[in-house]
């Protein structure tokens, strides 16, 4: 995730050839997508995008982040099937993840959340979570204040907000349903993790 904004755009442009000539509507029902005149509609964090052979654009014509568009290309080309799982894992807990990639996910990807909301506070997090369609999960086995998000039609995430105390600083963890890896590879899930983090921080600043 250490790419510059220009790096994200370059990555997106490099993915565009994969869309050309593909029948995106063939897998629409399997992935929970809706048809559009020139492709398919897919919702990411509550915002609709059109994915076609020409690329990805926000359905309402607004600007969109390059990493969001890249994730959507990977998603519409996914061969995954079925419904989200009931177990939730951090990126480092998914089986088969190379050892060298296990620990960076928590600090590099989620550290900005703790830094942003350590000052803004839990109420600011609640406002941001609700703005993105998050739902409070009572009695979550992950503990803390847990919020669930429908990131993509077949991929869910939980964000666990653990308040600071006398011994430990604030920690905010992002977990994915255990079947998410069937729809997006590890690197793409890391990008999707980043999309959620950026959206939560952006909503808190907007509020």
Q: Which of 61, 23, 77, 46 is nearest to 152 (CA)?
A: 46
Read out DSSP for 116-147? HHHHH-HHHHHHHHHHTT-EEETT-TT-SEEE
pLDDT at 103: 46
Does residue 153 carry a pLDDT above 80?
Answer: yes
pLDDT at 165: 84
Rg (CA), the chain: 17
Higher pLDDT, residue 101 or 107 = 107
Which residue(s) pair with 57 in the sheet? Answer: 50
pLDDT at 102: 46
Exposed (0-12), middle (13-18) or buried (19+): which is 183, by Cβ within 10 Å?
Answer: buried
- Residue 198 neighbours by CB under 8 Å, 6+ apart: 65, 67
pLDDT at 207: 61
pLDDT at 3: 60
- Residue 71 neighbours by CB under 8 Å, 6+ apart: 44, 184, 188, 191, 192, 195
Q: Are 48 and 59 in contact (CB under 8 A)?
A: yes
For residues 18-33, b (16+ Cβ closer than 10 Å) or e, as one string?
ebeeeebeebbeebeb
pLDDT at 205: 80
The reported pTM is 0.88
Residue 154: Cβ within 10 Å count: 23
Q: pLDDT band at residue 6, thresholds of 50, 70 and 90?
A: confident
CA–centroid distance for 183 within its chain: 12
pLDDT above 90 covers a percentage of the chain that reads 74
- pLDDT tens per residue, range 11-41: 999 999 999 999 999 999 999 999 998 999 9
- pLDDT tens per residue, range 179-194: 999 999 999 999 999 9
The mean predicted confidence, pLDDT, of the chain is 89
pLDDT at 107: 60
């Amino acid at each position: 995730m250490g790419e510059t904004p220009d790096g994200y755009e370059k990555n997106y442009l490099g993915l565009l050839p994969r869309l050309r000539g593909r029948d995106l509507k063939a897998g629409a029902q399997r992935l929970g997508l809706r048809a559009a005149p020139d492709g398919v509609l897919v919702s990411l964090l509550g915002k609709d995008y059109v994915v076609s052979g020409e690329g990805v654009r926000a359905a309402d014509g607004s600007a969109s982040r390059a990493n969001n568009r890249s994730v959507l290309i990977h998603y519409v080309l996914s061969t995954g099937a079925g419904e989200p799982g009931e177990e939730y894992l951090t990126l480092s807990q998914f089986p088969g993840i190379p050892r060298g990639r296990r620990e960076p996910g928590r600090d590099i990807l989620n550290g900005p959340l703790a830094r942003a909301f350590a000052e803004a506070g839990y109420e600011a997090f609640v406002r941001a979570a609700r703005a993105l369609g998050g739902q409070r999960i009572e009695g979550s086995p992950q503990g803390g204040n847990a919020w669930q998000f429908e990131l993509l039609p077949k991929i869910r995430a939980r964000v666990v907000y653990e308040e600071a105390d006398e011994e430990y600083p604030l920690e905010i963890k992002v977990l994915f349903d255990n079947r998410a890896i069937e729809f997006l590879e590890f690197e793409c899930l890391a990008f999707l993790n980043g999309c959620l983090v950026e959206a939560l921080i952006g909503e808190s600043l907007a509020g």
